[in-house]
Amino acid sequence: MEYIFEKNKLYNYLGTSLVNTLKKHKAYIAGGTITSLFSNNPVNDVDLYFRDEESLSELVEEIYDNSDDWVNALTSKALLVRVDEKEIQMIHFKYFEKAEDIFGTFDYTVCMGAFDFESEQFVLHEDFLKHNAQRILKFNKNTDFPIVSLLRVQKYKDKGYNISKPEFLRVALSCMELNITNAEELKQHLGGMYGINYDKLIELEEGETFSLSKIIDKIANIALSEDYFEKPKEIKYDNVEEILDVIVKEPVRVVKIKENTYRITKKNILREMNEEPKNKIEIDAKQYIDSQKFYKFVEKRDGQYFSHWDSKYEYKLGTINTPKNEHLYFSEKSEIDKSNYFCDGVLIEVVIPFENFTEKDGDKVLANGCYVVREVPETEYNEWINH
């Protein structure tokens, strides 16, 4: 079944711009949003999941560039942001090749629904519709965070769901199996809950040793705290690198060219950085630039290649091409669809000697010299765009 009504309702809620962004990055929406759609309840928030770290980090950069003060919270599990007045939680503690893989981390079958923006199809657990119709909670003992599952029971009961005593006992026993030995591990299991800043429950005094017994005592007095009723404060990040430092687990490839520092994405795209990440690998700049190819759409006349901007400027094979003014402009392979003259004329491939590379400005590569390598067949660059 294609569930056209639910899909249209989801797209209408998100809006065209956000839908297109999620398609571009092949994201998933899973959990409560899908449950709300199929049970005809209002959508309150959206949980996004990703195929890989790169998809998430590129989406974060794209939205950050177009927003102001949009980060609500950032933990080791998720990034909570506001996009077009909607609460969006981007999950980054784990990545998923298929939508079905997400369900293994969920606690109850009633939230085991997902929408895959690559296929534009819903993916539902075999018991998702039945258990939502019956309004019962069935627990997945393999969920990553059973303490959160225990806390969520009341939330579901308020929505009209019921849990049997044996199922509730399964949740409690799963919590007992956890081997929590320090405050950071406990934060992992409590993080991401709304309404109370649970991190404050486990703040230890200097020299104070961790024990669950002490935490239990601290919780007993939480309602007496002056900030118990205060919402967690929103955090202002001065640049996107601060966010990526938390999200990105693998070392970041960094290259320094002239006066600028760039991060090299997995798609070999240069992204200028204001601050260098703590976890990095520095790449030799000359070796990197000399190994890359760059691209430009040009006009082809009688077997010769001419600039769209200046119809008299010819890009010649077998010799260095230098600009009439200050710069020549090119695109990286993964960004040819952002070219000013995208699909107008033919695409040429060039190499830029390191000494001729000026900078990467936004999605444009600036150079004061290049060599034309070849004309790229249309079938070939169409594959790059659709990949």
Q: Where are the domains of the chain?
A: 4-195, 249-287, 291-386
Which positions of the chain have pLDDT values less than 70? 1, 65-72, 191-203, 221-238, 387
pLDDT of residue 66: 61
- CB of 360 closer than 8 Å to CB of 262: yes
Q: What distances in angstroms separate CA 33 from CA 78, 95, 105, one per listed residue?
A: 16, 19, 16
Q: What distances in angstroms separate CA 281 from CA 262, 309, 360, one per listed residue?
A: 12, 38, 20
pLDDT of residue 195: 40
User: How far apart (Å, rounded) are the C-alpha atoms in residues 314 and 366?
Assistant: 17
Average pLDDT, the chain: 87
Residue 40 DSSP code: T
pLDDT of residue 83: 82
Burial class of residue 149, CB neighbours in 10 A (0-12, 13-18, 19+)? buried
User: How far apart (Å, rounded) are the C-alpha atoms in residues 17 and 382?
Assistant: 23
pLDDT of residue 118: 95
DSSP string of 305-329, one letter each residue: EE-SSSTT-EE-BTS-B--SSS-EE
Query: Of 29, 174, 53, 189, whose CA–CA distance to 112 is shortest?
Result: 29
User: How far apart (Å, rounded) are the C-alpha atoms in residues 328 and 310?
Assistant: 11
User: 118 is written with which tokens?
Assistant: 């690559």
Q: What is the pTM of this model?
A: 0.73
User: How far apart (Å, rounded) are the C-alpha atoms in residues 108 and 331?
Assistant: 47
User: How far apart (Å, rounded) are the C-alpha atoms in residues 22 and 384?
Assistant: 19
pLDDT of residue 194: 43
pLDDT of residue 380: 95
User: How far apart (Å, rounded) are the C-alpha atoms in residues 83 and 341?
Assistant: 30
- CB of 49 closer than 8 Å to CB of 102: yes
Q: Which CATH class is domain 4-195?
A: alpha beta
- CB of 291 closer than 8 Å to CB of 346: no
Q: Beginning with the edge strand found earlier in the chain, give each strand of the sheet holding 121-124 in spatial order.
A: 71-74, 78-83, 86-91, 46-49, 28-30, 113-116, 121-124
